[in-house]
């Protein structure tokens, strides 16, 4: 049975289950830091309750009394208290990764790596939730023309780093595992709607994707950045981190990944669509201290792969005019 752990400021109590942390009471910023460090160590060392290695997923169970207190106290602006209860409520709507803003450094400076040299001149900036750069062949705007495809030929996901790519700095074993994981995610998603084949043929879409840039998160610094301001981050430092995020498009210490991909008719080779997109790790409230993914340096990159695989399935579903399309979850 998971231990019952009471977390929260005196004004903002709530209950949470942690499978590998002893029941305890956390009331101060220093207590939060101790628990965060203890959870970090549990990935390598067994805790006294011998339950290390179990998932560190946090499941919150606010009581009626705590919810009333949250409304009364936690919704007020407080610079000197830890309103973790509010952070946990917000967490339900937080994404694991996000696209950098189009006006930021990472959102604007997106040039091709050379993987799709023939398509770059035709590409334009995406809008809304579209990829940062994209191309759509007008010939396939008609859903009837697109609905003829019922099979998919998925090429192996390539690692294709350009001159400024950070791929060359990452361990080869890590990047190989990332590309293999991404390939499996895409195949699993498209296999729900299409027959996956290994040879070109009629009524077949050919999908070619390359990871052209990837950067691991600094997991130790990322975890430390979640320590509340009263303990570890003076206001000036927190403001500097916010400024950096708004300028570059990536929260400090988070990972990022960029892909290029194109969709073509497997028989004729005609390009139907192409995209260049980038995603970065998203900052979470203080609860990031208690999530095992915080301490996995490649979790942001792998989460981006999961999102792109789901989005590709959704886009193909919409293009063929289906009505049961599943929206990708960030």
Q: What's 237-273 look like in SS3?
A: HHHHHHHHHHHHCCCCCCCEEEEEEEEEECCCCCEEE
- Whole-number pLDDT of residue 220: 55
CA atoms within 13 A on the CB side of 256: 21
Residues 39 and 114 in one domain: no
- C-alpha torsion angle, residues 112, 118, 124, 129 (rounded to 10): -70
Residues 305 and 156 in one domain: yes
Q: What are phi and psi of 301, to 5 degrees?
A: -65, -45
Pairing of strands 195-197, 151-154: parallel
Host domain of residue 32: 3-91
Contact 200, 247 (CB under 8 A): no
Q: Which of 91, 124, 155 is the last residue of a domain?
A: 91
Does some domain include residue 69? yes
- For 33-49, write each residue's pLDDT tens digit: 444 444 444 433 333 33
CA torsion sign for 222, 227, 232, 236 is positive
Does some domain include residue 292? no
Give the angle 187-190-192 at the CA atoms, nearest 5°: 110
The position carrying tokens 């981006």 is: 304
- For 210-237, write each residue's pLDDT tens digit: 999 999 876 555 555 555 554 444 554 4
Q: What are phi and psi of 73, to 5 degrees?
A: -110, -45
> How many domains is the chain partitioned into structurally?
2
Does some domain include residue 196? yes
User: Average pLDDT, whole number, for the chain?
Assistant: 72
Q: Which of 72, 91, 110 is the last residue of a domain?
A: 91
165 vs 251, 258, 292, CA distance in Å?
A: 19, 9, 27
Residues 52 and 105 in one domain: no
- Whole-number pLDDT of residue 63: 46
Residues 81 and 112 in one domain: no
Query: Looking at residues 197-216, what average pLDDT do you find?
Result: 96
The position carrying tokens 């006006």 is: 103
Dmax (CA) for the chain in angstroms is: 67
51 vs 3, 26, 55, 223, CA distance in Å?
A: 10, 20, 10, 22
- Whole-number pLDDT of residue 106: 66
At 69, the pLDDT band (50, 70, 90 cuts) reads very low
Does some domain include residue 290? no
Higher pLDDT: 246 or 131? It is 131
Does some domain include residue 291? no
Structure tokens at 320: 């063929």
- Among residues 273, 214, 256, which one has the least CA distance to residue 99? 256
Does some domain include residue 328? no
Residues 176 and 258 in one domain: yes
Contact 182, 309 (CB under 8 A): yes
- Whole-number pLDDT of residue 154: 98
Residues 76 and 154 in one domain: no
Gap between the Cα atoms of 205 and 235, Å rounded:
52
The position carrying tokens 């994404």 is: 95
Structure tokens at 23: 């029941």
Residues 78 and 127 in one domain: no
Q: Which of 63, 91, 119 is the last residue of a domain?
A: 91
- Whole-number pLDDT of residue 99: 82
Residues 250 and 203 in one domain: yes
Pairing of strands 204-215, 158-159: parallel
Query: Looking at residues 290-315, what average pLDDT do you find?
Result: 83
- For 98-125, write each residue's pLDDT tens digit: 888 766 766 666 889 999 999 999 999 9
Does some domain include residue 119? yes
């Amino acid at each position: 049975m998971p231990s019952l752990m009471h977390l929260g400021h005196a004004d903002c109590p709530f209950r949470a289950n942690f499978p590998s942390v002893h029941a305890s009471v956390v009331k101060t910023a220093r207590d939060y830091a101790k628990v965060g460090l203890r959870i970090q160590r549990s990935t390598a060392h067994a805790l006294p309750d011998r339950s290390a290695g179990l998932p560190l997923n946090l499941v919150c169970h606010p009581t009626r009394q705590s919810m009333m207190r949250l409304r009364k106290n936690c919704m007020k602006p407080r610079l000197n208290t830890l309103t973790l209860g509010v952070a946990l409520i917000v967490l339900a709507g937080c994404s694991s990764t996000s696209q950098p803003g189009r006006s930021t450094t990472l959102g604007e400076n997106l040039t091709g790596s050379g993987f799709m040299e023939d398509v770059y001149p035709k590409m334009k900036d995406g809008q809304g939730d579209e990829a940062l750069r994209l191309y759509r062949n007008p010939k396939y705007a008609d859903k009837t023309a697109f609905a003829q495809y019922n099979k998919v030929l998925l090429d192996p996901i390539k690692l294709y780093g350009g001159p400024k790519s950070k791929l060359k700095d990452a361990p080869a074993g890590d990047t190989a595992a990332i590309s293999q994981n991404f390939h499996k995610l895409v195949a699993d998603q498209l296999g729900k709607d299409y027959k996956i084949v290994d040879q070109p043929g009629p009524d077949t879409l050919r999908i070619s994707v390359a990871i052209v840039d990837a950067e691991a998160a600094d997991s130790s610094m990322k975890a430390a950045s979640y320590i509340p301001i009263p303990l570890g981050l003076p206001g000036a430092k927190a403001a500097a981190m916010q400024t950096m995020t708004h300028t570059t498009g990536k929260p400090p210490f988070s990972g990022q990944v960029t892909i290029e991909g194109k969709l073509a008719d497997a028989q004729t080779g005609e390009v139907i669509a192409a995209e260049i997109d980038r995603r970065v790790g998203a900052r979470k409230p203080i609860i990031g201290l208690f999530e095992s993914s915080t301490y996995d340096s490649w979790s942001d990159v792998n989460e981006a792969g999961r999102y792109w695989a789901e989005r590709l399935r959704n886009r193909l579903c919409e293009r063929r005019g289906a009505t049961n399309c599943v929206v990708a979850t960030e």
